[in-house]
Amino acid sequence: MIQIASEVDSWEDAIKKAAEPLIKKNYINQHYVQAMIKSVKKLGPYIVIAPGIAIAHARPEEGVMKMGISLLKIDHCIPFSDNGHHVSLVFVLAALDSTSHLNILSKLAEVLSDDERMSQIKNASSVDQILQVV
């Protein structure tokens, strides 16, 4: 459930676009997407976990039907705040509860902490290239 976009208009659009594969496969519903956006508006860019990387999520009861994760790679960074939180990789995490997704997060952390793999992802021009890295 990986997509590449040359650009998006805003961080809200990035979250919506990143969530599309999860919606199409009935992992989440539209309410979950709105809940993710609402959380960032209320709490700030807390989903920006590292330079260039955001993991959007909301509470499971906001519209998660199945556990999953998706990725949107954006060719041009977009601001998530006025304070320099620019992002080019937007993950959407759909968790069913507070623990079942920890294995996914552990594997994701492994990839995100590997500079070589991150460089390959950021420089990838196709979904297949990203899939080879992850």
Q: Is the pLDDT of residue 107 over 80?
A: yes
Residue 60 per-residue DSSP state: G
DSSP lists the bridge partners of residue 74 as: 5
Catalytic, 76? Answer: no
pTM score, whole prediction: 0.89
Local confidence band at 101 (pLDDT 50, 70, 90 cut-offs): confident
Question: What's 61's DSSP letter?
Answer: G
Q: State the catalytic residue, choosing from 31, 57, 76, 86.
A: 57
The tokens for 100 are: 């079942």
DSSP assignment of 32-62 equals HHHHHHHHHHHH-STTEEETEEEEE---GGG
| Domains of the chain (ranges, CATH numbers) | 2-98 (3.40.930.10)
> What angle do helix axes 11-24 and 30-43 make, rounded to 10 degrees?
150
Structure confidence by residue, pLDDT tens digits, 43-95: 988 999 888 999 999 999 999 999 999 999 999 899 987 777 899 999 999 98
The mean pLDDT of 100-116, rounded to a whole number, is 84
